[in-house]
Amino acid sequence: MKTETLLTQSVTSSERTRCRCCSSPLHHTFVDLGMSPPCESYRSAEQLNEMEAFYPLHVYVCDRCFLVQLQEYVTPAEIFTEYAYFSSYSDTWLQHAKTYTDMAVQRFGLNAESLVVELASNDGYLLQYFLAKGIPILGVEPAANVAEVAIRKGISTLVEFFGEETAKAMLARGESADLIVGNNVLAQVPDVNDFVKGMKVLLKPQGVITMEFPHLMRLMEENQFDTIYHEHFSYFSFIATEAIFDAQGLTLFDVEEIPTHGGSLRIYARHTEDETQPISEQAMALKKRELAAGFDRLDSYTAFAEQVKETKRKLLDFLIKAKREGKTIAGYGAPGKGNTLLNYCGIRTDFIDYTVDRNPYKQGKFLPGTHIPIFSPEKIHETQPDYVLILPWNFKEEIMQQMAGIREWGGQFVVPIPEVKVYS
């Protein structure tokens, strides 16, 4: 898919109400989070009095293939052409990437004759570790401002949206892949069939694909509704993912359950005709577990909406009580999930004075919708708030370690998901 094509693409109402995987009509609500602005549309001071676009965060579940999905109101080009998320600002995520690299090189025998392609390669946070091992690499990243950072690191990066058309052009240049990596990108693709078809085209006959994405089972168990936002078009169970890959001639042969982003899956895929990688016991066991939990039945999805409402009530109860007691509250982080949480719960500067973020790109701006100002982390030590609300709760251990100094004035950390918990 070319950027210029996406910029002019319009999505009709009838297309929005059909499953992006199997094209069945969508009738069944998974959860409705109301109206929210795109989560990465940070505002400058000059934009605070301008009109701001809000779109529905109404999530459906398909009654045929059981893909949980958000309708497409904002195109990928609008979201990703200039992007505010840089992966390298999380030490925990960098360590995760390095550990993965070591594993992949050993498991798949990668060497100087191999080619590793990462889709949505961001600022080179992962490919830099393959490069250090002397393994040829290529990144595909649609956000030009983020890709520029990777290119400055010496990481060859194609500034492009990925799909079948892009894959064919890469293949014509001799860029077929021994390993295709995609971390937290599958959910961000509206035409998931075209994306997976592109990987089929690009993959060498005995090549391997690994994809990481938040696991729908964990999202539901842990009330992680804040991971729902406009740039995440789909929310995957193992069985739904298996059906999508199978339809394009790819077989999931292994899976790992990993702790990132509140609980993710790392799936391993190969060409269906390549039988050198047998289907693992872990893959069969997870599929069996999901089926036992009812992920192939609509009634298993209906309780989630009420869980979300109760989580909202508990967070607002805590904040109202704290403010009535005269306590001060600051946020830590300006992630997409935080913007969903704050907008859905109606939390603005009446509850949170400001938030902080290590990413200089976000500092000096304001959160979309709520207009909470974003400062550098030093602001917390200047103002000494009573509570620090950790918005990227999936990095809570790293953040509490970095900001341990708040205990000097009696400050406490608050984590909102799966429900409000205070850490002294």
Domain limit, last residue, from 301, 334, 358: 301
Is position 69 within any domain? no
Note whether 238 and 222 are same-domain residues. yes
Sheet containing 157-158: order of strands: 157-158, 137-140, 116-119, 177-183, 203-214, 264-271, 250-258
Band of the pLDDT at 91, cuts 50, 70, 90? confident
Q: What is the largest CA-CA distance in the chain?
A: 66
pLDDT confidence of residue 2: 31
- What's the CATH code of the domain at 223? 3.40.50.150
The pLDDT confidence band at residue 16, using thresholds 50, 70 and 90, is: low
Q: 72 in a domain, yes or no?
A: no
Predicted pLDDT at 5: 29
Is 36 among the domain residues?
Answer: no
Same domain, yes or no, for 286 and 313? no
Average pLDDT of 376-405?
Answer: 96
> What was the pLDDT predicted at 9?
35
- pLDDT category at 10 given cuts 50, 70, 90 is very low
170, 156 contact by CB (below 8 A): no
Residue-wise pLDDT for 116-156, tens only, equals 999 999 889 999 999 999 999 999 998 888 888 999 999 99
Q: Is residue 11 part of a domain?
A: no
Q: Say which residues have a Cβ less than 8 Å from residue 331's Cβ, sequence separation at least 6.
A: 338, 352, 354, 355, 356, 372, 388, 389, 390, 391
Q: Is 101 helix (H, G, I), strand (E, B) or coil?
A: helix
Q: What is the mean pLDDT of the chain?
A: 92
| pLDDT tier for residue 81 given thresholds of 50, 70 and 90 | low
Residue 19 lies in a domain: no
248 and 386 co-located in one domain: no
255 contacts 282 by C-beta, under 8 angstroms = yes
Closest CA to 66 of 310, 239, 272: 239
311 and 271 within one domain: no
Is residue 250 scored above 70 in pLDDT? yes
The total number of structural domains in the chain stands at: 2
**211-246 confidence digits (pLDDT tens):** 999 999 999 999 999 999 888 999 999 999 999 999
Same domain membership, residue 315 and residue 281: no
Q: Which of 79, 75, 78, 72 is nearest to 58 (CA)?
A: 72
Contact 114, 178 (CB under 8 A): yes
Range of the structural domain that residue 404 is part of: 305-423
CATH of the domain at 311: 3.40.50.720
Among residues 301, 320, 336, the one where a domain terminates is 301
318: three-class secondary structure by DSSP: helix
Assess if residue 3 is contained within a domain.
no
235 & 126 share domain: yes
User: Of 275, 301, 327, which residue is a domain's last?
Assistant: 301
Q: Are residue 381 and residue 245 in the same domain, yes or no? A: no
The confidence score (pLDDT) of residue 117 equals 98
Do 408 and 328 lie in one domain? The reply is: yes
Same domain, 330 and 270: no
What is the structure's pLDDT at 89? Answer: 56
| pLDDT beyond 50 at 342 | yes
pLDDT band of residue 87 (cuts 50, 70, 90) is low
Mean pLDDT of 21-42: 94
Total Cβ atoms within 10 A of residue 107: 13
Does the pLDDT of residue 82 top 60, yes or no? no
Average pLDDT of span 31-50:
94
Coil, strand or helix: which one is 61? strand
Domain match, 297 and 318 both: no
